[in-house]
Amino acid sequence: MRIFTKPVSVAVSMVVLTACVDTRMPDSAAHLPKSPFDGGAPLSAMIEGSAVSSQPLDASAPAPAAAPDAPTSAATGNAGISDEQDFQAVSSRETIESDAARRAANQAQYQQIEPTALPSRPRGLGVSIVEFALSTQNQVGQSLYKRFSLGGQSRYERNCASYGSTDAAQQAFLNSGGPEKDRYGIDPDGDGFACGWDPAPFRKVRAAQGTAPAPQTAVSAADLAAAGITGEPSGAPALPTLVPGETLNISTE
């Protein structure tokens, strides 16, 4: 009779191996810090009807300190905002006498500055465009100076575009030797006016200031007579002839 001992030994080995293996599931949250709520009341205590403590949640926690830069409430007032338009606030601290005294103090500090003469123009700054406009008589486009165009129209347009206004261009033109010299090519026609600058507005102001009003002369009796106006008083206007059926209008207007 043959005895089969091999399967039995294999089964015994499997049982022993199983006993040596740890079959417990690892805790993936074991490395996390312990929650401060562990060990407290279970969630069932939150169910309606359960015995729940009536102590506030923040009873044991210290009250947070107020921020040092917290804005001042409206009740305490803000020194940076005037309340002069608030009748109650002003009437609570001011009287008619105190208000009059404050106005008198403010009036005493008032200083009236008298006008003074304009300062003279410093030397070395070149000729101003106003002085140059009043010292010239030629019109825009009327050539007075010789020019040798280098760069032509493209240079003229490029350089004039670099100035913010025609006044600035004319001032730079005068400061660089104009009107005799045109260093930047901004006066190609040689009229002495750079980038289309026009001196006419300055000339008009001087002309308006120099024009005296025409004197008023008296009108003589001969002038009135020539115009058909006489100084003799006219008689009373004659009444119109009344026509039957019409209303007489005696108005002298």
**Mean pLDDT of the region 110-123:** 80
The answer to whether the pTM exceeds 0.85 is: no
Measure the CA angle with vertex 19, ends 16 and 22; round to 5°: 140
* H helical segments located in 46-116: 87-93, 96-108
| Cα–Cα distance, 79 to 94 (Å, whole number) | 17
Query: For position 91, what pLDDT does the model report?
Result: 86
pLDDT per residue over 56-112, tens digit each? 555 555 555 555 454 444 445 566 788 888 888 888 888 889 889 999 999 999 888
Q: Omega into 179 within 30° of 0, i.e. cis?
A: yes
| Cα–Cα distance, 231 to 3 (Å, whole number) | 173
Enumerate residues 6+ apart whose C-beta is below 8 A from 121. 128
Query: For position 226, what pLDDT does the model report?
Result: 74
pLDDT per residue over 233-248, tens digit each? 555 566 666 666 666 5
Residue 144 in this model has a pLDDT that exceeds 80: yes
| Cα–Cα distance, 251 to 237 (Å, whole number) | 10
